[in-house]
A and B are shown apart, each in its own frame.
Chain A
Amino acid sequence: MSQTGQNDAFVEFERVQKSYDGETLVVKDLNLTLPKGEFLTMLGPSGSGKTTCLMMLAGFETATYGDIRLDGVSINHIPPHKRGIGMVFQNYALFPHMTIAENLSFPLEVRKMGKSEREAKVKRALDMVEMGAFGGRRPAQLSGGQQQRVALARALVFEPELVLMDEPLGALDKQLREKMQFEITRLAHDLGITTVYVTHDQTEALTMSDRVAVFNDGRIQQLAPPDELYETPSNSFVAQFIGENNTLEGTVKEMSGETCLVELANGAVIDAKPINVSGIGDKTRVSIRPERVEFNKDRLQEGAHLLKAEVKEFIYMGDMFRTRLSVAGNDDFIIKSRNAPDQTRLKPGEMIEIGWLPDDCRALDAH
């Protein structure tokens, strides 16, 4: 987003706005820069504007205001078929009246490529997604996962530098989805393609991307690599949207550089790291990840503030224990603990004390 990245900026959105009805903005003042070879995911709830952004980039929607540049050239007035962007659609959009090989050959044919060259490229693309044996079949004869691979191969066969994917794994079951997530990232990195991936599945976004842009209400809420996004969400929407999250409402009581004290509704005081609170007296929402909550006092820092909690429910999940607590008026406070031989199994009704490292507890905006 800074001016320094101007040289390696491959895709740029500059002050892009989009309105369908002339009354409300679906995309509000979007600024985004992608370097070549990056895998960027646009993540957000439905209606957050992420798909609209993708469609503007692909050329199926026009920006109401602002500039979209591809490799330094403004593409606002270039029709979709001249943009040379590969795209994978949500329902795959494989042409049902053509065989798999014909589907892959299509982008090469419209580029007036010779027959032998076409065949070689189609074969290479199919082999790449391990579908070499299926060239003669029709899309309807393939399973969802196979269709997905073909759609991917078709988007890549004409060697575009930018590939867009619109929730491509939405229709697959969990196991297949995980496998495909891995394959898509592997292919994208191996081929060095710039990828813009749209999804509303945060796990997908975290596991696949170099960077994730979290969309809400037509704006990018945070643009960061996955670990940063998860561990240091910059506002409470991102904290809520990414991963599981416990929140406690309170007021900032004391600020001392890297830490602050937050007084909860029931008068209890906890340590937190101030992120977007401006000063003492601010309303805040503190967020703690379930796996960072500790109830074993030995593992806590000296002098850490503790909270009383009542165990409401203990759920055995195999690799994890998930315990629901009642903490400071919040009955849905979740803690996760690893299933290890020395791990305590809490019982409902038990009263315990919980605490955390101040760095793990982030004081965010209150709305």
Chain B
Amino acid sequence: MTDVQMPAGDQAQQDGPMLAADGTTLKRSLARSLRRRKIQALMLIAPLLLFVLLTFVAPIFDMLYRSVENSIVSNTMPRSTTLLKDWDSATGELPGEDVYEAAFYDLFLAKERKDHTKLGTRLNYERTGLSSMFRQSGRGMDKIADAYLDPLKDLDKDWDEAEPWLDLMGDADWVAIAKDARAEEAPNFVPNAEIVTLLPNTVEAYAEFQTFLKEEDPRKRLGREEPWGLVHIALFNDLEQTDVSAYSGPGADRLAEASQLVQSGTVDIPTFAMGFADAHDGWVNIEIWRTIQTYSPKATTGYFLNAVDMKLTPDGAEFRPEKERVYGLLFSRTIYMSLVITFSCILLAYPVAYLLSNLPLRQANLLMILVLLPFWTSLLVRTSAWKVMLQQQGVINEVLVWMGLIADDNRLALINNQLGTIIAMTHILLPFMILPMFSVMSTIPPSYVRAAKSLGANNWTAFWRVYFPQSVPGIGAGSILVFIMAIGYYITPAIVGGNTGTFISNRIAYHISSSLNWGLGAALGAILLAAVLLLYWAYDRIVGIDNVKLGG
């Protein structure tokens, strides 16, 4: 055999890693040859993968994100929430003047952007009444600012006019363009250099005002709008500290007058805290401040706690009072009813699936059409049909009364309760139980039962000891399918469930489409998802997911 050339692979086996014919390692060579096929395969599934990512994975993650997301509070009230972090609510004292001042700036800006009502709606989920409090406080913020404007206005009416402010604050060239009615777009604000050094806070506030105007409408003529109260307050603060006598630009007289007034100390300015108290009683209620403080962080467990009948308080999570608890009941009812539906489906589907897989082909096909018929009918029609069947004046009750089995004034309540939901959903989900069972049963060869009988087992023993254990994977697959579909079912419980037969999904739908509390809806959905995964895991541990078969 000396003339036989040893293949490269065999040689390599003796010294070091396996080599391919061209000397590269076999592993790399294999990876290279497989890569092309992998890429091809990936390209083929790419559209579906993309579709699934966009329509399935992304919404789920979005839902999970929404269930903890809470940036609206800190985004709308950035200054005050930062200060509130250091406020110790346990002392029983209201927050300090600095917090009120910060809250004033936050709310003033929020009011201008009309964000304060959104924040009110958000906080209203946690504490009723906050929605109206925030709505009303919008006007209160103007009142607080008016305390500064009014004395200035008494000195000179120009302090409440748009154009004099423009002249005072802006650079001369910029003012000329800003006032030009023909300008296509307002230019960015350029401050008067002299004023910047004299009144830095005022310029800053004014610049913010101008930026806001420009964002609102780029083509707005800047000279038309009177500045915010924030500008007046900033001017007050500046004039308290600065000597403006050296200034000689536009509006120098007005400024000097105002400076005199401010420095004289005769103007009576109330504190921000008093202003807030005027705006709404809530602002001097320590509980409301605690609520705002509790919900300041960008992420919150509040939605999840709400979803399990608890609430987040400054002292941590605690259960809601007995009569406010709804979700625990709904979750347990959903799971209990889904289990009942699953078991009813098993009981009804097993004989049908058995017949399907053991009848001669012709009869089995006919039976299969009957099983599939519901699939070809609209879900809504089927559910509505059940309404006709089950209601007090419905077919079943009428027949029972006609037969004399029940009294006319004692008709059975078959609908708008749990019984109605169970009956209708068992019917609707039955095919999902029959089909996996059938596909498993049809793979069980008849020789097993024959073997059992030849070994001395009677019909029942042969079925129970030999046939049934082999059909269990079908029951498992059907049960998982039916249970998971049932636990998230929505339409049927909504139509036939009444008050006592609704599922958690009906509540989720309510929060998504009616109360618009998406965070709570998302949290409920996330808990439902977790419950399903948990049950799936438990099923895997107890029965083993390998024992689930949807077909041969």
| A residues apposed to B, CB below 8 Å | 58-60, 79-87, 89-91, 93, 95-97, 106-107, 110-111, 154-155, 158, 164
Q: Is B454 a contact partner of A91 (Cβ separation < 8 A)?
A: no
A93-B450, A95-B452, A107-B456 given; 6 more Cβ-contact pairs under 8 Å: A60-B453, A80-B453, A81-B454, A83-B454, A87-B455, A93-B445
A95 in contact with B454 (CB, 8 Å): no
Q: How many residues of B contact A (CB 8 A)?
A: 19
Residue pair B450, A89 in contact (C-beta under 8 Å): yes
For B470, the chain A residues whose CB sits under 8 A away are 95-97
Q: Are A89 and B451 in contact (CB under 8 A)?
A: yes
Instruction: For the complex formed, measure the closest distance between the CB of B12 and the CB atoms of chain A, giving whole angstroms.
Output: 33
Q: List the B side residues contacting A83 at CB < 8 Å.
A: 454
B448 touches A87 (CB 8 A): no
22 contacts between A and B (CB under 8 A): A59-B453, A79-B453, A79-B458, A80-B450, A81-B454, A81-B455, A81-B456, A81-B458, A81-B462, A86-B454, A87-B454, A87-B455, A90-B447, A93-B451, A95-B451, A95-B470, A96-B470, A107-B455, A107-B457, A110-B457, A155-B455, A158-B456
Q: Nearest chain-A residue to B472 (Cβ)?
A: A97
Is residue B461 contacting chain A, with contact meaning CB distance below 8 A?
Answer: yes
B351 to chain A, nearest CB (A): 21
Question: What are the nearest 5 A-B pairs in CB distance?
Answer: A107-B455, A93-B451, A87-B454, A93-B447, A80-B453
Whether A106 and B465, one on each chain, are in contact in the complex, defined by CB atoms closer than 8 angstroms, is yes
Determine the main DSSP class of B at the interface with A: helix
- Residues on B with beta carbons closer than 8 Å to the beta carbon of A154: 455
Is the CB–CB distance between A89 and B447 below 8 Å?
Answer: yes
A89-B447, A91-B445, A95-B466 given; A106·B452 CB < 8 A: yes
Q: How many Å from the CB of B544 to the closest CB on chain A? A: 12
CB distance from A141 to the nearest CB of B (A): 15
B249 within 8 A of A: no
Determine the residue in chain B with the shortest Cβ distance to A104. B455
Which residues of chain B (427-475) have a CB below 8 Å from chain A?
Answer: 445, 447-448, 450-459, 461-462, 465-466, 469-470
Nearest-Cβ distance from residue A157 to partner chain B, whole angstroms: 9
Contacts of B465 in A (CB 8 A): 106
The CB with the most chain B CB atoms within 10 A, among A59, A81, A82, A164, is that of: A81
Please give the distance in Å from B80's CB to the nearest CB on chain A: 68
- Which A residues are in CB contact (< 8 Å) with B469? 95, 97
Report the separation of the CA atoms of residues A81 and B458 in the bound assembly, to the nearest whole angstrom. Answer: 6
Which chain A residues border B452 with CB–CB below 8 Å?
95, 106
Could you say which of A59, A60, A155 has the most chain B C-beta atoms within 10 Å of its C-beta?
A60
**Interchain CB contact (< 8 A) of B456 among A89, A90, A111:** A111
Interface string of B467-508 (1 = CB under 8 A from A): 001100000000000000000000000000000000000000
Known: A81-B462, A106-B465, A110-B461. A93 touches B448 (CB 8 A): yes
B2 to chain A, nearest CB (A): 29
In the bound complex, residues from chain B placing their C-beta under 8 Å from that of A95 are: 448, 451-452, 466, 469-470
